[in-house]
């Protein structure tokens, strides 16, 4: 059953590190058909969550030492975390 909340896998947590010079792929689960907006390091990706409740987005690669905060927003749930 699809999640009614926006969720990321435990892989994405506080103080995580990302591979430099490689595209950044994020994935997770949420309510089917909800609009998802994710911001990271000055880039923004929008996506409609699929029928099964899963989603996946990709961001451009970043240089080593780039700091960033992952911000996700789901219009159906009106959450910003």
Q: What is the pLDDT of residue 26?
A: 87
User: Residue 2: inside a domain, yes or no?
Assistant: no
Considering its fold, how many domains does the chain have in total? 1
- Going from the C-alpha of 44 to that of each of 1, 3, 4, 12, the distances in angstroms are 28, 23, 23, 17
Model pLDDT for residues 10-56, shown as the tens digit of each residue: 877 776 777 888 898 888 898 899 888 888 888 888 889 999 999 99
* Residue, of 13 and 79, whose pLDDT is higher: 13
* 17 lies in some domain: no
**pTM score of the predicted model:** 0.71
Q: Assess if residue 64 is contained within a domain.
A: no
Domain that holds residue 35: 24-59+69-80
Residue 73 belongs to a domain: yes
């Amino acid at each position: 059953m699809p999640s009614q909340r926006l969720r990321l896998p435990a892989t994405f947590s506080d103080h995580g590190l990302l591979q430099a010079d490689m595209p950044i792929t994020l994935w997770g689960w949420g309510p089917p058909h909800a609009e998802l907006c994710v911001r990271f390091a000055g880039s923004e990706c929008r996506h409609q969550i699929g029928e099964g409740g899963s989603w996946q987005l990709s961001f451009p690669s970043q240089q080593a030492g780039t700091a960033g905060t992952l911000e996700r927003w789901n219009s159906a749930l009106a959450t910003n975390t």
